[in-house]
């Protein structure tokens, strides 16, 4: 399913949605595919939600129990002002959610800042994370490409569709691609606090220690998928991940920061090849 030719994002008909009550707030969870298949967890990026994976999920459910979580502050999860939105805290919540779902081991894939949460989860729960796949996740802050889009002030929140499209424009590079209305709506559902805190906390995490260094310490199998025309992170920085022993980097020409939306099939190919090797088996 594509979204650039007028089709709307829709969750798969078999999607099971549920809400888990955690100490910091309710977490929304989606599950697709056979419940006895190897688990594959998908973690979205900042100012996004589980819905950002909608087009990719049907390509994964033939071989996986696909689990998607709206991180705290995003999508249909709670948006409290008090808790931390740092990757380690988000990773801890994801670990608790997987425990509640009875998942003992999973391959974990994260898009953009979702890759930092996936890394933090693996740092905390190496028993739970078998392998990691990072999709357009910048390895360090000096690889970030500063946006020319005007920032949204607190007085302008919630933003209009046009403001969100300007903010999100660097997230896509495929010619003619138009951001689905459903994703615009989910940005507007965030609070200004959760929107800004998530981005600040991700920056702090990367400045404390670059991801390749963290991942080398972890020693987990690693796949990095990168849209070659990314306008948020320099695609050449993907080579930094080759410092991680055994890491594999897949570049996708003609795609930008969000390849799972711009071309789900091309994104699914290397991801499925990776999980076929590393997914948990009964």
Q: pLDDT per residue over 108-128, tens digit each?
A: 999 999 999 999 999 999 999
Local structure of 6: helix, strand or coil:
coil
Interval 212-241: pLDDT, tens: 999 999 999 999 999 999 999 999 999 999
Q: How confident is the model at residue 8 (pLDDT cuts 50, 70, 90)?
A: very low
Rounded Cα distance between 279 and 108, Å, is 10
Query: CA distances (Å), 2 to each of 8, 214, 265, in order?
Result: 8, 35, 9
> In which band, very low, low, confident or very high, does the pLDDT at 175 lie, cut at 50, 70 and 90?
confident
Per-residue pLDDT at 5 exceeds 60: no
DSSP state of 258: -
**pLDDT, tens digit, 9 for 90 and up, residues 118-155:** 999 999 999 999 999 999 999 999 999 987 655 677 88
Nearest to 119 by CA among 227, 205, 23, 228: 205
Please, which residues have CB within 8 angstroms of residue 261's CB and are 6 or more apart in sequence? 3, 52, 55, 172, 177, 180
pTM (two decimals): 0.93
Higher pLDDT among residues 265 and 169, named by residue: 265
* Calpha distance 162→70 (Å, rounded): 24
**Rounded to an integer, what distance in angstroms lies between the CA atom of residue 76 and that of residue 60?**
23
Does the structure show a pLDDT above 80 at 282? no
Cβ atoms of 135 and 228 closer than 8 Å: no
Confidence of residue 2 (pLDDT cuts 50, 70, 90): very low
The more confidently predicted of residues 55 and 280 is 55
């Amino acid at each position: 399913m594509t979204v650039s030719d007028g089709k709307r994002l829709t969750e798969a008909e078999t999607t099971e949605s549920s809400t888990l009550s955690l100490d910091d707030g309710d977490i929304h969870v989606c599950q697709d595919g056979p419940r006895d298949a190897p688990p594959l967890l998908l973690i979205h990026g900042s100012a996004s939600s589980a819905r950002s994976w909608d087009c990719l999920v049907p390509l994964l459910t033939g071989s996986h129990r696909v689990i998607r979580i709206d991180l705290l502050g995003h999508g249909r999860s709670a948006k409290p002002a008090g808790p931390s939105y740092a990757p380690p805290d988000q990773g801890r919540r994801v670990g608790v959610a997987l425990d509640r779902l009875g998942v003992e081991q999973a391959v974990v894939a994260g898009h953009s800042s979702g890759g930092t949460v996936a890394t933090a989860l693996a740092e905390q729960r190496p028993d739970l994370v078998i392998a990691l796949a990072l999709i357009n996740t910048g390895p360090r802050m000096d690889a970030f490409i500063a946006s020319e889009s005007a920032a949204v002030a607190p007085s302008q929140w919630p933003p209009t569709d046009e403001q969100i499209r300007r903010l999100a424009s660097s997230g896509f590079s495929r010619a003619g691609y138009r951001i689905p209305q459903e994703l615009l709506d989910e940005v507007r559902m965030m609070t200004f606090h959760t929107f800004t805190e998530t981005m600040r906390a991700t920056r702090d995490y990367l400045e404390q220690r670059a991801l390749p260094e963290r991942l080398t310490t972890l020693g987990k199998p690693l796949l990095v998928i990168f849209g070659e025309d990314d306008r948020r992170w320099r695609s050449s920085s993907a080579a930094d991940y080759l410092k991680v022993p055994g890491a594999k980097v897949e570049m996708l020409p003609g795609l930008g920061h969000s390849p799972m939306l711009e071309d789900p099939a091309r994104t699914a190919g290397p991801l499925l090849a990776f999980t076929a090797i590393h997914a948990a088996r009964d």
